[in-house]
Amino acid sequence: MRKATFEGIQMALSDQLTKLAARAKEAEDRASAAQDKGKADLEADVEVARGSAEAQHQALRESAAASKGKISEWWNDLEERWNKAVANIREKIDSRKGEIDLDKAEKNAENAEDDASFAIDYAYAAIDEAEYEVLDAALARKEADELAAGSSA
């Protein structure tokens, strides 16, 4: 049986949250800078962001596969649903590109802005869930440590 230290696990989880906060700040900075960029620069930034998102998505898929049996099954289920949702979103985004009708282009822009807003809301909720999971993990580790201390006494 693996005996993890409370401090070691908490530090690793805290480090992951720090990395998450830094990534959120980076996304915020890029979104702010987008307002002053030209179309060609934005197109390049979109491609870089898409590549980064796809790489992160692949890493998440691999992590979920490697963690099967270690993490709660509902995380694996969520990851599978996420894969399908991302594929549908990408398909929708790709279908909007190159729109030449002004009314359709305006509607596409409004939909893209609404989608971006919801994605931010979703990420915020995911951070809240991550906080809950980290704190619950800390509590579970404390309880296991207390039981271990009581059984060795």
Are residues 80 and 114 located together in one domain of the fold? no
pLDDT score of 1: 39
Are residues 89 and 47 located together in one domain of the fold? yes
Does 45 reside within a domain?
yes
Q: How many domains would you assign to the chain?
A: 2
pLDDT score of 22: 93
Separation of first and last alpha carbons in the chain: 19
Nearest to 141, CA basis, from 1, 18, 9: 9
Are residues 93 and 118 located together in one domain of the fold? no
- DSSP character for 98? T
pLDDT score of 10: 64
**Token digits for 101?**
């009708």
For residue range 93-142, what is the model confidence (pLDDT) as tens digits? 888 777 678 888 898 889 989 988 988 988 998 899 888 888 888 899 88
Does 31 reside within a domain?
no
pLDDT tier, 6 (very low <50, low <70, confident <90, very high otherwise): low
Does 9 reside within a domain?
no
List Cβ neighbours of 64 (8 Å cut-off, separation of 6 or more).
71, 75, 76, 79
Task: List C-alpha distances in Å: 113 to 63, 87, 130, 152.
Answer: 30, 19, 25, 58
Does 67 reside within a domain?
yes
Q: Which of 72, 97, 122 is the last residue of a domain?
A: 97
pLDDT score of 33: 92
Does 79 reside within a domain?
yes
For residue range 55-76, what is the model confidence (pLDDT) as tens digits? 988 888 888 888 888 888 888 7
Are residues 47 and 92 located together in one domain of the fold? yes
Does 126 reside within a domain?
yes
Average pLDDT, the chain: 85
Task: Name the residue range of residue 113's domain.
Answer: 102-148
